[in-house]
A and B are shown apart, each in its own frame.
Chain A
Amino acid sequence: QVQLVESGGGVVQRGGSLRLSCAASRFSFSNYAMHWVRQAPGKGLEWVAFIRDDGTTKSYADSVKGRFTISRDNSKNTLYLQMSSLRAEDTAVYYCAKTRATIAAAGPFDYWGQGTLTTVSS
């Protein structure tokens, strides 16, 4: 069974930085596009960022563009999200999600992790 395990969340001050990781296992990580999706407390799902299988194509939600960077290390089967200039509205559970294809820029997302909570304090 596909496994995605996020880590790196925590409490950070407004304007600070944090790097999230997503360890992937039990599938060929290097063959699939990956995404980050977040969920503010008590709210719905919001897409954050996408990276294709080989890391050459990336895209971001307007709300995080210029502040967040998605990357991956296929040799370590790990996805990352570097977050900087954090704002209160970035407070959310961040999920990594696997797609069904190599370049699925819009999903669908067939497996999700359990999420990691990032809280931005003022």
Chain B
Amino acid sequence: DIQMTQSPSSLSASLGDRVTITCRASQSISSYLNWYQQKPGKGPKLLIYAAYSLQSGVPSRFSGSGSGTDFTLTIRSLQPEDFATYYCQQSYSAPPTFGGGTKVEIK
């Protein structure tokens, strides 16, 4: 199985900050990398698929980059509704696997 490693596991940031979360795959997954946002008590929400494609309805302050083994999720200007936990997931090969999550908290 492909292992996904996210960093950091948590971070504190202020409104308006630029936030970057990284995800590393244990082998090359081309661009088959997806990002999800999860808020407490809710199911995850797809933000980015195929490394950099924005899911319909997701604000443009979210962006993704990377290919191969190293990927990044960037939130350009943090908004109150962005405080949540973010997960990466590879869809290159079955079984699908997730990173451990990054919790974004208010500083």
Contacts and interface: CB of A to CB of B under 8 A. Distances in A.
Contacts of A110: 46, 49, 55
Given A107-B89, A108-B34, A108-B89, A45 B44 contact: yes
Interface in A32-86: 35, 44-47, 50, 59, 61
Given A106-B92, A106-B95, A112 B101 contact: no
A44 B23 CA distance: 14
Interface residues of A, number: 24
Nearest to A46: B98
Contact of B94 (A4, A45, A50, A95): A50
Interface in B85-100: 87, 89-100
Interface string A102-122: 001111111111110000000
A35 B44 CA distance: 13
Chain B's interface: helix, strand, loop or mixed, by majority? loop
Contacts of A4: 43
Interface in B49-102: 49-50, 55, 87, 89-101
A108 B53 CA distance: 12
B42 interface: yes
B98 A44 contact: yes
Given A106-B92, A106-B93, A107-B34, A47 B98 contact: yes
A114 B43 contact: yes
Closest 7 A-B residue pairs measured CB to CB? A112-B43, A108-B34, A106-B96, A107-B91, A106-B91, A105-B94, A45-B98
Interface of A: 4, 35, 44-47, 50, 59, 61, 95, 97, 100, 104-115
Given A4-B43, A106-B92, A112-B45, 5 more contacts: A44-B87, A104-B91, A105-B96, A106-B93, A113-B43
